[in-house]
Amino acid sequence: MHGTPLELEAIERDIPVEELKDEQHEKIEEVLEEMAMDFSIYSDTHSEYNKRQTHDMFTELYCNGYIKEKKQTLPYSKEDGRFLPDRYVEGGCPHCGGLSRGDQCDDCGKLVEPEELTEPYSTISGSEDIEFRETTHLFFDLTKFKEELRDWIKNAEPQPVPDSKFEEVLNAIDDTEPRCITRDIEWGFEIPVNRVNRRIEKEGLEVESLDADTYSNKVLYVWFDAPIGYIGFTRELFQDNDEWKDYWTGDAETYYSIGKDNTIFHAVMWPSMLTGSSTEETDYSLPHYEFIQEYLLAEDTKFSKSRGKGLSTEDALDMYPADYWRFYLARKIPRNHDTTFSWKDFESEINNVLNDTIGNFVNRTLSLTEKWFDNKAPAADLEQRDEEVVDEAERIISEYEKFFEEHKPKEALDKAVELARLGDRYLSEEEPWNNEDRRDETIHVSVRIIRALGVTLYPFTPETSEKIGGMLNTEIHTEEGFNEFVDPLLGGIESGHRLGKREILFEKIEVDEKKDAMEESEEDSFNDNTVSFEDFQDMDIRVGEVVSVEEHPNADKLYKVKIDIGEATLQTCAGLKNHYRPDELDGKKVTILANLEPAELRGEKSECMMLAAEDEEGNVSLLKSEGDIEKGSRIR
């Protein structure tokens, strides 16, 4: 939550950053809920619990001598009256000439130091009046943990990182240097200066006290408090009861599922933080295994001009149910190399596997049960062929469990699909429609396999599993401590058990049609929110002339502008400080909406609105009329 993009957007929108934090958190929660993602707790790193844990770990690291002061030379904006870390400063990239931030170039991806930027400017005010000043920051000395990290990476069981990342991590350990953990911004956790100093004095520690004035306007860097959120959330889950420690200390095993761009952080920096802040009472466990995913790349397809390449989660869910996406993505987890998403591949997986294999087997079996056995599980004396199929199903389930224990969800899902193929093949080979003598046994075993299928699919396609449970008139147990994997096959379904109402699990898809419909919808939606001609006539749009421009006393992004429209002078609060200097606005002919309902923006009256155009890059241009037209002239 303490990343600079959030604060910058809040500044741009002129709203409190905590309001934006809550807004973004709510949006993410909604998407996760629609994707049927379930967590013991889903919190955010700005919580009081995480603040407490962050201050605990910072205090231990500092008092153990792992954090030191160091001078830095950073860009300072005179107009903003502040230092400009990371994304707060932009300019030309010294390597490729593209747009670069104060930490990395967006175009070429190379790391960039702020002083390397050409023509740097503040992303807050747009000011180019920047100088480099010396400032003091705190650095976490990662070099102190090199030997422990090497030993952990080489000798821990299971191996903390996959073979493909082994050498990369060892090289990163060799290259570690002290890393800054504080920033000159307001958004973030304050540095617990008084707490640290009291600890130093109380215990007579041989470390330097912190100067309160030096760190009064600094906060802890987001990279420091963000991973601590793992522990902070656990504290929150248990309401700070000491039970949280059972999950993070002693024999606790912690598992991480991360993207490859977070490999070095989670295999070098985070273990160092855990090791350096451990105490006799709270000895943090190091990661036992890190599941590292490669990238899933977007197919080179443009769905719409407004969204560009790729597909948002919201659009994906509008097109197809969550279970379709969950199934496909779990089957295509890019673990060993980058994978490119393909619409045709997606269509094939849904139609040929989810529908034709899984859905077809379930539907055929249950429709025959309705037809021949009054929708009840038939009694059966299993013969050798039937027992062999049950044994094979139990072998598949055993392998399914093993793959989960080995952190291989894709392979586990493959086993669930194999179970469906086994049942479908068995049903086809036995031909109960032509072999009445074997009908009872075939349907009995097939229903039991459907039960097994419903259980094994649950982690991947929960809605589908619940439908299967409903059709079988039995519960798919998902609560903690309940073991579905018991003999007979997943608890079995007793003879005479009445089944539920059958329904179709899946439908075949045609992605080209859906994509075309989506693109047409994009085009059609252009005129969805129309206004009547009468409504337009009610808008008093005029030409006005700017007669004064002042700084807004309570908002960094706003000007207080007075505009003469001939018969009156109106005031507006305009968010133009990043786009126009006061002298560029003074005397300018502009287009305004003159009958806007008056409001107060940060304590100042705003009774009209200047009209402007904004492109996708965020460039703004005020609308103006051609020729020397009189102020007050109406636009019709």
Digit-coded pLDDT (tens) for 255-293: 999 988 889 999 999 999 999 999 999 999 999 888 898
The H-assigned helical ranges of 320-461 are 322-331, 343-348, 360-373, 384-405, 409-430, 439-457
Give every residue of the chain whose pLDDT is below 70, as ranges. Answer: 106, 109, 299-310, 514-529, 556, 616-618
Which tokens go with 21? 């934090």
Residue 401 has, within 13 A of its CA and on its CB side, a CA count of: 12
Give me the pLDDT at residue 309, please.
Answer: 59
Residue 293 has, within 13 A of its CA and on its CB side, a CA count of: 17
Give me the pLDDT at residue 76, please.
Answer: 93
Give me the pLDDT at residue 521, please.
Answer: 54
Q: CA–CA separation, 506 vs 482, rounded Å? A: 28
Which of 395, 634, 412, 630 minimizes the C-alpha distance to 537?
634
Q: CA–CA separation, 327 vs 318, rounded Å? A: 16
The answer to whether the CB of 572 falls within 8 A of the CB of 593 is no
In a 3-state reduction of DSSP, which class is residue 620?
strand
Give me the pLDDT at residue 304, please.
Answer: 38
Q: What is the pLDDT of residues 196-214, one digit of tens each?
A: 999 999 999 999 999 999 9
Give the CA distances from residue 178 to residues 56, 61, 67, 547, in Å, rounded to whole numbers and listed in that order. Answer: 20, 13, 9, 54
Q: Cβ–Cβ contacts within 10 Å for residue 70, how many? A: 11
Residue 228 has, within 13 A of its CA and on its CB side, a CA count of: 29
Query: Rg of the chain over CA atoms, in angstroms?
Result: 32
Q: How far does CA 39 lie from the centroid of its chain?
A: 14
Quick one: angle between helices 384-405 and 409-430, nearest 10? 170
Give me the pLDDT at residue 306, please.
Answer: 39
Give me the pLDDT at residue 180, please.
Answer: 93
The answer to whether the CB of 508 falls within 8 A of the CB of 351 is yes
Give me the pLDDT at residue 471, please.
Answer: 97
Phi, psi dihedral angles at 105 (to 5 degrees): -85, 130
The answer to whether the CB of 465 falls within 8 A of the CB of 457 is yes
Q: CA–CA separation, 19 vs 13, rounded Å? A: 11
Give the CA distances from residue 316 to residues 138, 323, 338, 528, 550, in Å, rounded to whole numbers and listed in that order. Answer: 44, 11, 21, 21, 46
472-473-477 Cα angle (round to 5): 90
Burial of 582 (C-beta count, 10 Å sphere; 0-12/13-18/19+): middle
Give me the pLDDT at residue 59, please.
Answer: 98
Report CA torsion sign: 475, 479, 482, 486: positive
Q: What is the pLDDT of residues 67-91, one digit of tens each?
A: 999 999 999 999 989 899 888 899 9
Which of 54, 296, 312 minimizes the C-alpha distance to 182?
54
Q: CA–CA separation, 129 vs 79, rounded Å? A: 7
Give me the pLDDT at residue 525, please.
Answer: 52
Q: Cβ–Cβ contacts within 10 Å for residue 441, how many? A: 22
461-503-424 Cα angle (round to 5): 70
